[in-house]
């Protein structure tokens, strides 16, 4: 485990935060140990989940919430979970592009992540990414996702 990375992370270095999230998201060899080191610094953040169909206004809601929290001096984290591209494996919609105005605010950390084929609207490592943001002092943490597989046995007409 990289002690310098951990030190930089706890000093508030955004690049260290990004590297920690990447390690956790990719399940690198030291990711479990990193999470163990972070765990005592967690449990202080409120986590808000926003889900809905594509185009239903989730990103607009996140944008407005973020602005309101920043007006109150909050440092927040946003995890935007999108379906995986069948070609690249990356996030299809790229919420970070839709939230460009928030991206220039140093008090807001936005991380787009792909579900990597995991069903249910979240990536397997979403909770771990939230843990990293919590340890980094981001509060609240907003998780935005399109949710599970839409239309599956829903609103099916019979007859």
Tell me if 13 is assigned to some domain. no
- Asked if 111 and 21 count as a contact pair (C-beta separation under 8 A), the reply is yes
User: What range defines the domain where residue 103 resides?
Assistant: 44-145
Tell me if 112 is assigned to some domain. yes
Tell me if 86 is assigned to some domain. yes
Closest CA to 144 of 104, 105, 94: 94
Tell me if 68 is assigned to some domain. yes
CA atoms within 13 A on the CB side of 98: 21
Tell me if 34 is assigned to some domain. no
All residue ranges of the chain with pLDDT < 70 are 1, 83-101, 103, 115-121, 123, 147-159
Each residue of 67-80: pLDDT tens digit?
999 999 999 999 98
Number of domains into which the chain is organized: 1
Tell me if 28 is assigned to some domain. no
Tell me if 38 is assigned to some domain. no
Give the pLDDT confidence score for residue 34 in this predicted structure.
Answer: 93
**Which CATH number does the domain housing residue 86 bear?**
3.40.50.300
**pTM listed for this prediction:** 0.81
Phi, psi of 77 (to 5 degrees): -120, 140
Give the pLDDT confidence score for residue 10 in this predicted structure.
Answer: 95
Tell me if 4 is assigned to some domain. no
């Amino acid at each position: 485990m990289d002690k310098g990375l951990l030190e930089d992370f706890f000093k508030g270095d955004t690049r260290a935060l990004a590297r920690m999230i990447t390690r956790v998201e990719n399940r690198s060899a030291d990711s479990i140990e990193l999470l163990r080191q972070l765990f005592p610094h967690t449990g202080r953040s409120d986590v808000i989940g926003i889900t809905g169909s594509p185009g239903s206004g989730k990103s607009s809601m996140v944008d407005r919430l973020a602005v309101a929290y920043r007006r109150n001096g909050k440092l927040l984290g946003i995890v935007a979970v999108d379906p995986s591209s069948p070609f690249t494996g990356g996030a299809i919609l790229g919420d970070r592009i839709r939230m460009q105005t928030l991206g220039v605010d140093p008090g807001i950390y936005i991380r787009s992540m792909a579900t990597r084929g995991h069903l249910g609207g979240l990536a397997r490592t979403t909770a771990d990414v939230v843990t990293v943001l919590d340890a980094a002092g981001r509060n609240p943490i907003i998780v935005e996702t399109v949710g599970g597989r839409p239309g599956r046995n829903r609103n099916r007409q019979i007859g």
